[in-house]
Amino acid sequence: MMESYIESGKIASKIRGEASKMIKDGTLVIDLVEYVESEILKSGAEIAFPCNVSINEIAAHYTSPANDKTKFKAGDMVKLDLGAMVDGYIADTAITVIADGNIDENYTQDEINLHEEIIEASAAGLEAAIATARAGIEVSKIGAAVHEAISEYKLNPIFNLTGHSLEQNNLHAGISIPNYDNHDNFILEEGQAIAIEPFATNGEGWVNDSPGHYIFSYLANKPFRMKNTQRVLKYIQNNHRYVPFSGRWITDEFGERRGNIALKQLAGAMAIYPYAPLREKKGYFVSQKEHTVVIEKEGCTVTTI
Protein backbone atom coordinates (compact mmCIF):
# COMPACT_ATOMS: atom_id res chain seq x y z
CA MET A 1 0.00 0.00 0.00
CA MET A 2 2.66 2.54 1.06
CA GLU A 3 4.76 1.71 -2.00
CA SER A 4 1.81 2.44 -4.28
CA TYR A 5 1.12 5.75 -2.51
CA ILE A 6 4.76 6.74 -2.98
CA GLU A 7 4.69 5.65 -6.64
CA SER A 8 1.49 7.55 -7.52
CA GLY A 9 2.80 10.55 -5.59
CA LYS A 10 6.01 10.66 -7.60
CA ILE A 11 4.12 10.44 -10.88
CA ALA A 12 1.65 13.17 -9.91
CA SER A 13 4.30 15.60 -8.68
CA LYS A 14 6.48 15.16 -11.75
CA ILE A 15 3.55 15.85 -14.08
CA ARG A 16 2.43 18.79 -11.91
CA GLY A 17 5.85 20.38 -12.40
CA GLU A 18 6.01 19.81 -16.14
CA ALA A 19 2.43 20.86 -16.80
CA SER A 20 2.70 24.08 -14.80
CA LYS A 21 5.18 25.38 -17.41
CA MET A 22 2.35 25.35 -19.97
CA ILE A 23 0.34 27.92 -18.01
CA LYS A 24 0.96 31.07 -20.04
CA ASP A 25 -0.86 33.65 -22.09
CA GLY A 26 -2.60 32.10 -25.10
CA THR A 27 -2.38 28.40 -24.09
CA LEU A 28 -5.69 26.55 -24.47
CA VAL A 29 -6.93 25.08 -21.18
CA ILE A 30 -7.90 21.89 -23.03
CA ASP A 31 -4.29 21.42 -24.19
CA LEU A 32 -3.14 21.52 -20.57
CA VAL A 33 -5.76 19.08 -19.25
CA GLU A 34 -5.21 16.64 -22.11
CA TYR A 35 -1.44 16.83 -21.60
CA VAL A 36 -1.83 16.03 -17.90
CA GLU A 37 -4.26 13.17 -18.43
CA SER A 38 -2.20 11.58 -21.21
CA GLU A 39 1.01 11.86 -19.17
CA ILE A 40 -0.64 10.07 -16.24
CA LEU A 41 -1.65 7.20 -18.52
CA LYS A 42 1.78 7.13 -20.21
CA SER A 43 3.42 6.73 -16.80
CA GLY A 44 1.46 3.51 -16.29
CA ALA A 45 -0.81 4.99 -13.61
CA GLU A 46 -4.56 5.56 -13.89
CA ILE A 47 -6.33 8.91 -13.80
CA ALA A 48 -7.87 9.42 -10.34
CA PHE A 49 -10.09 12.29 -11.55
CA PRO A 50 -10.24 14.66 -14.54
CA CYS A 51 -7.52 17.30 -14.50
CA ASN A 52 -9.11 20.38 -12.86
CA VAL A 53 -8.04 23.80 -14.11
CA SER A 54 -9.77 26.62 -12.27
CA ILE A 55 -9.10 30.28 -13.08
CA ASN A 56 -9.27 33.38 -10.83
CA GLU A 57 -12.55 33.35 -8.81
CA ILE A 58 -13.23 29.71 -9.75
CA ALA A 59 -11.88 27.57 -6.90
CA ALA A 60 -12.39 24.02 -8.20
CA HIS A 61 -14.26 21.53 -10.37
CA TYR A 62 -13.69 22.98 -13.81
CA THR A 63 -12.25 20.81 -16.55
CA SER A 64 -12.44 21.47 -20.27
CA PRO A 65 -15.43 20.18 -22.21
CA ALA A 66 -14.76 19.00 -25.79
CA ASN A 67 -13.64 21.89 -28.03
CA ASP A 68 -13.08 24.21 -25.08
CA LYS A 69 -11.91 27.55 -26.49
CA THR A 70 -10.86 28.96 -23.09
CA LYS A 71 -7.32 30.34 -23.12
CA PHE A 72 -5.12 31.55 -20.30
CA LYS A 73 -4.54 35.30 -20.13
CA ALA A 74 -1.37 36.80 -18.67
CA GLY A 75 -1.85 37.24 -14.93
CA ASP A 76 -4.66 34.69 -14.52
CA MET A 77 -4.53 32.89 -11.16
CA VAL A 78 -4.60 29.25 -12.27
CA LYS A 79 -5.23 26.25 -9.99
CA LEU A 80 -3.96 23.01 -11.53
CA ASP A 81 -5.29 20.00 -9.62
CA LEU A 82 -4.49 16.47 -10.75
CA GLY A 83 -4.70 12.91 -9.52
CA ALA A 84 -2.85 9.71 -10.36
CA MET A 85 -3.66 6.25 -9.08
CA VAL A 86 -1.46 3.15 -8.72
CA ASP A 87 -3.29 -0.05 -7.71
CA GLY A 88 -6.12 2.25 -6.63
CA TYR A 89 -3.88 4.27 -4.26
CA ILE A 90 -4.35 7.91 -5.10
CA ALA A 91 -2.07 10.93 -5.25
CA ASP A 92 -4.11 14.14 -5.26
CA THR A 93 -2.10 17.34 -5.64
CA ALA A 94 -2.63 20.94 -6.69
CA ILE A 95 -0.61 24.05 -7.31
CA THR A 96 -1.46 27.66 -8.15
CA VAL A 97 0.50 29.67 -10.68
CA ILE A 98 0.12 33.04 -12.35
CA ALA A 99 -0.20 32.64 -16.12
CA ASP A 100 3.00 33.94 -17.70
CA GLY A 101 3.06 36.79 -20.22
CA ASN A 102 2.75 40.59 -20.18
CA ILE A 103 1.07 40.60 -16.80
CA ASP A 104 1.47 44.34 -16.22
CA GLU A 105 -0.75 44.99 -19.24
CA ASN A 106 -3.64 43.41 -17.33
CA TYR A 107 -2.84 44.22 -13.67
CA THR A 108 -1.23 46.98 -11.60
CA GLN A 109 1.83 46.27 -9.47
CA ASP A 110 -0.35 46.40 -6.32
CA GLU A 111 -2.68 43.79 -7.78
CA ILE A 112 0.24 41.58 -8.79
CA ASN A 113 1.64 41.78 -5.24
CA LEU A 114 -1.74 40.88 -3.78
CA HIS A 115 -2.04 37.88 -6.12
CA GLU A 116 1.38 36.65 -5.07
CA GLU A 117 0.35 36.93 -1.42
CA ILE A 118 -2.84 34.96 -2.06
CA ILE A 119 -0.73 32.16 -3.55
CA GLU A 120 1.77 32.33 -0.68
CA ALA A 121 -1.06 32.16 1.87
CA SER A 122 -2.42 28.80 0.68
CA ALA A 123 1.15 27.44 0.58
CA ALA A 124 1.69 28.65 4.17
CA GLY A 125 -1.61 27.06 5.15
CA LEU A 126 -0.51 23.74 3.68
CA GLU A 127 2.86 23.91 5.42
CA ALA A 128 1.21 24.61 8.76
CA ALA A 129 -1.19 21.71 8.20
CA ILE A 130 1.62 19.29 7.34
CA ALA A 131 3.54 20.39 10.45
CA THR A 132 0.43 19.60 12.53
CA ALA A 133 -0.65 16.29 10.96
CA ARG A 134 0.24 13.15 12.95
CA ALA A 135 -1.45 10.15 14.52
CA GLY A 136 -3.66 11.06 17.48
CA ILE A 137 -4.51 14.59 16.39
CA GLU A 138 -8.05 15.88 15.79
CA VAL A 139 -8.72 17.02 12.22
CA SER A 140 -10.00 20.37 13.54
CA LYS A 141 -6.45 21.09 14.78
CA ILE A 142 -5.25 20.89 11.18
CA GLY A 143 -8.03 23.27 10.17
CA ALA A 144 -7.05 25.69 12.94
CA ALA A 145 -3.42 25.66 11.73
CA VAL A 146 -4.50 26.39 8.14
CA HIS A 147 -6.79 29.23 9.20
CA GLU A 148 -4.17 30.82 11.41
CA ALA A 149 -1.49 30.74 8.69
CA ILE A 150 -3.81 32.27 6.07
CA SER A 151 -5.10 34.90 8.51
CA GLU A 152 -1.56 36.24 8.91
CA TYR A 153 -1.85 37.45 5.32
CA LYS A 154 -5.17 39.17 6.19
CA LEU A 155 -6.86 36.74 3.83
CA ASN A 156 -9.56 34.08 4.30
CA PRO A 157 -9.49 30.34 3.74
CA ILE A 158 -12.43 28.96 1.78
CA PHE A 159 -14.53 27.77 4.70
CA ASN A 160 -16.79 25.45 2.69
CA LEU A 161 -14.03 23.52 0.90
CA THR A 162 -12.09 20.74 2.62
CA GLY A 163 -9.44 18.12 2.14
CA HIS A 164 -10.46 14.49 2.50
CA SER A 165 -9.39 11.00 3.43
CA LEU A 166 -8.32 8.62 0.65
CA GLU A 167 -8.86 4.89 0.40
CA GLN A 168 -8.20 2.38 -2.35
CA ASN A 169 -10.24 3.48 -5.41
CA ASN A 170 -11.98 6.06 -3.25
CA LEU A 171 -11.12 9.75 -3.69
CA HIS A 172 -13.41 11.11 -0.97
CA ALA A 173 -13.42 8.37 1.63
CA GLY A 174 -15.59 10.01 4.28
CA ILE A 175 -13.36 12.11 6.54
CA SER A 176 -13.10 15.83 5.81
CA ILE A 177 -9.97 17.86 6.56
CA PRO A 178 -11.24 21.38 7.26
CA ASN A 179 -9.51 24.67 6.49
CA TYR A 180 -10.60 26.23 9.82
CA ASP A 181 -11.41 24.95 13.30
CA ASN A 182 -14.80 23.35 12.68
CA HIS A 183 -14.70 21.46 16.02
CA ASP A 184 -14.63 18.09 14.22
CA ASN A 185 -12.91 15.88 16.82
CA PHE A 186 -12.24 12.94 14.49
CA ILE A 187 -8.78 11.62 15.41
CA LEU A 188 -6.29 10.67 12.69
CA GLU A 189 -4.64 7.26 12.85
CA GLU A 190 -1.28 5.95 11.72
CA GLY A 191 -1.38 4.75 8.11
CA GLN A 192 -4.36 6.88 7.10
CA ALA A 193 -3.95 8.72 3.78
CA ILE A 194 -5.39 12.22 3.50
CA ALA A 195 -5.35 15.03 0.97
CA ILE A 196 -4.83 18.43 2.61
CA GLU A 197 -5.88 21.35 0.44
CA PRO A 198 -6.02 24.88 1.80
CA PHE A 199 -7.60 27.53 -0.41
CA ALA A 200 -6.89 31.23 0.23
CA THR A 201 -8.84 34.22 -1.04
CA ASN A 202 -9.25 37.98 -0.73
CA GLY A 203 -13.00 37.30 -0.84
CA GLU A 204 -15.23 36.22 2.04
CA GLY A 205 -14.15 32.59 1.84
CA TRP A 206 -17.35 31.06 0.64
CA VAL A 207 -17.84 29.35 -2.73
CA ASN A 208 -21.09 28.70 -4.59
CA ASP A 209 -22.07 26.58 -7.58
CA SER A 210 -21.59 28.15 -10.99
CA PRO A 211 -23.30 27.05 -14.23
CA GLY A 212 -22.29 23.97 -16.23
CA HIS A 213 -21.23 20.46 -15.26
CA TYR A 214 -17.92 19.09 -16.52
CA ILE A 215 -17.07 16.43 -13.91
CA PHE A 216 -19.29 13.55 -12.81
CA SER A 217 -19.28 10.51 -10.52
CA TYR A 218 -21.11 7.23 -10.94
CA LEU A 219 -23.85 6.75 -8.34
CA ALA A 220 -26.20 3.86 -9.11
CA ASN A 221 -27.72 1.66 -11.77
CA LYS A 222 -31.06 2.96 -13.10
CA PRO A 223 -33.33 1.78 -15.94
CA PHE A 224 -33.52 3.95 -19.07
CA ARG A 225 -35.70 3.57 -22.13
CA MET A 226 -33.34 5.34 -24.50
CA LYS A 227 -30.72 2.99 -25.99
CA ASN A 228 -28.14 5.76 -26.15
CA THR A 229 -28.49 6.53 -22.44
CA GLN A 230 -28.30 2.83 -21.55
CA ARG A 231 -25.10 2.48 -23.57
CA VAL A 232 -23.47 5.48 -21.93
CA LEU A 233 -24.41 4.22 -18.46
CA LYS A 234 -22.95 0.80 -19.24
CA TYR A 235 -19.76 2.46 -20.46
CA ILE A 236 -19.51 4.51 -17.26
CA GLN A 237 -20.10 1.40 -15.13
CA ASN A 238 -17.36 -0.44 -16.99
CA ASN A 239 -14.80 2.36 -17.08
CA HIS A 240 -15.54 4.95 -14.39
CA ARG A 241 -17.35 3.14 -11.60
CA TYR A 242 -15.12 4.26 -8.73
CA VAL A 243 -13.59 7.67 -9.33
CA PRO A 244 -14.84 10.88 -11.00
CA PHE A 245 -14.83 11.19 -14.79
CA SER A 246 -14.93 13.99 -17.34
CA GLY A 247 -17.91 14.80 -19.54
CA ARG A 248 -15.29 15.27 -22.27
CA TRP A 249 -14.31 11.58 -22.05
CA ILE A 250 -17.96 10.65 -22.64
CA THR A 251 -18.46 13.02 -25.58
CA ASP A 252 -15.13 11.85 -27.06
CA GLU A 253 -16.56 8.33 -27.02
CA PHE A 254 -20.21 8.93 -28.00
CA GLY A 255 -20.14 12.28 -29.83
CA GLU A 256 -20.95 15.69 -28.39
CA ARG A 257 -24.72 15.72 -28.84
CA ARG A 258 -25.44 12.15 -27.80
CA GLY A 259 -22.91 12.20 -24.99
CA ASN A 260 -24.35 15.37 -23.50
CA ILE A 261 -27.98 14.21 -23.83
CA ALA A 262 -27.11 10.99 -21.99
CA LEU A 263 -25.15 12.81 -19.26
CA LYS A 264 -28.12 15.11 -18.65
CA GLN A 265 -30.56 12.20 -18.37
CA LEU A 266 -28.22 10.18 -16.15
CA ALA A 267 -27.69 13.13 -13.83
CA GLY A 268 -31.42 13.90 -13.75
CA ALA A 269 -32.17 10.32 -12.67
CA MET A 270 -29.29 10.35 -10.13
CA ALA A 271 -27.44 7.53 -11.88
CA ILE A 272 -24.47 9.92 -11.91
CA TYR A 273 -23.62 12.95 -9.77
CA PRO A 274 -22.76 16.21 -11.60
CA TYR A 275 -20.22 18.51 -9.91
CA ALA A 276 -20.73 22.21 -10.51
CA PRO A 277 -17.66 24.44 -10.75
CA LEU A 278 -17.28 26.28 -7.43
CA ARG A 279 -16.59 29.99 -7.33
CA GLU A 280 -15.99 32.95 -5.09
CA LYS A 281 -17.72 36.22 -5.94
CA LYS A 282 -16.68 37.82 -9.22
CA GLY A 283 -13.59 39.98 -8.95
CA TYR A 284 -12.00 38.00 -6.12
CA PHE A 285 -9.11 35.57 -6.47
CA VAL A 286 -8.64 32.08 -5.07
CA SER A 287 -5.43 30.07 -4.66
CA GLN A 288 -5.05 26.41 -3.68
CA LYS A 289 -2.18 24.17 -2.72
CA GLU A 290 -2.64 20.46 -2.08
CA HIS A 291 -0.56 17.49 -1.07
CA THR A 292 -1.42 13.90 -0.27
CA VAL A 293 0.09 12.67 3.01
CA VAL A 294 0.17 9.40 4.92
CA ILE A 295 -0.20 9.82 8.67
CA GLU A 296 2.68 8.53 10.83
CA LYS A 297 3.12 8.25 14.61
CA GLU A 298 5.23 11.39 14.86
CA GLY A 299 4.18 13.29 11.75
CA CYS A 300 3.33 12.44 8.17
CA THR A 301 4.92 11.45 4.87
CA VAL A 302 4.11 13.76 1.97
CA THR A 303 3.76 11.55 -1.12
CA THR A 304 3.35 14.33 -3.69
CA ILE A 305 6.28 16.52 -2.64
Alpha-carbon distance of 94 to 74, in angstroms, equals 20
* Shortest distance in whole angstroms from residue 213 CB to Mn ion: 18
Only one of the segments 27-35, 74-82, 133-141, 200-208 lies at the binding site for Mn ion (rule: CB under 5 A); that segment is 74-82
Length of the chain: 305
Alpha carbons 86 and 81: distance in angstroms, whole number: 17
Active site residue 104: no
Where are the alpha helices (H) located in the chain, listed in sequence order?
Answer: 2-20, 29-42, 103-106, 109-132, 139-151, 227-239, 247-254, 256-268
- CA–CA distance from 113 to each of 122, 174, 198 (Å)? 15, 37, 20
Can residue 215 be called a binding residue for Mn ion (CB under 5 A)? no
Q: Of 128-136, 151-159, 245-253, 282-290, which part binds Mn ion (CB under 5 A)?
A: 282-290
With CB under 5 A as the contact rule, which of the stretches 145-153, 211-219, 243-251, 284-292 interacts with Mn ion? Answer: 284-292
Asked if 164 and 267 count as a contact pair (C-beta separation under 8 A), the reply is no
- Catalytic residue check, 290: yes
What is the Cα–Cα distance from 46 to 251, expressed in whole angstroms? 20
Smallest gap from Cβ 98 to Mn ion, in A, equals 19
Compute the distance between CA of residue 76 and CA of residue 78 in angstroms, rounded to an integer.
6
The answer to whether residue 81 forms part of the interface with Mn ion (CB under 5 A) is yes
Decide: is 195 part of the binding site for Mn ion (CB under 5 A). Answer: yes
Quote the least distance from Cβ 129 to Mn ion, whole Å: 13
Q: Which of 15, 24, 80 is nearest to 53 (CA)?
A: 80
One-letter amino acid of 236: I
x-marked contacts with Mn ion along 29-68 as a string, rule CB under 5 A: ----------------------------------------
Single out the catalytic residue among 61, 115, 172, 213: 172
Q: Does residue 296 have an active-site annotation? A: no
In one-letter notation, the amino acid at residue 81 is: D
Q: How far is CA 118 from the centre of its chain?
A: 18
User: Which member of 197, 213, 240, 280 is catalytic?
Assistant: 197
Number of residues this chain uses to bind Mn ion (CB under 5 A): 6
At its nearest, how many Å lie between Mn ion and the CB of residue 303? 13
Q: Does 92 bind Mn ion (CB under 5 A)?
A: yes
Q: Is 252 a catalytic residue?
A: no
Determine, following the binding rule CB under 5 A, whether residue 7 of this chain makes contact with Mn ion: no
Q: Which stretches of the chain bind Mn ion, using CB under 5 A?
A: 81, 92, 94, 195, 197, 290
Q: Known catalytic residues?
A: 81, 92, 164, 172, 197, 290
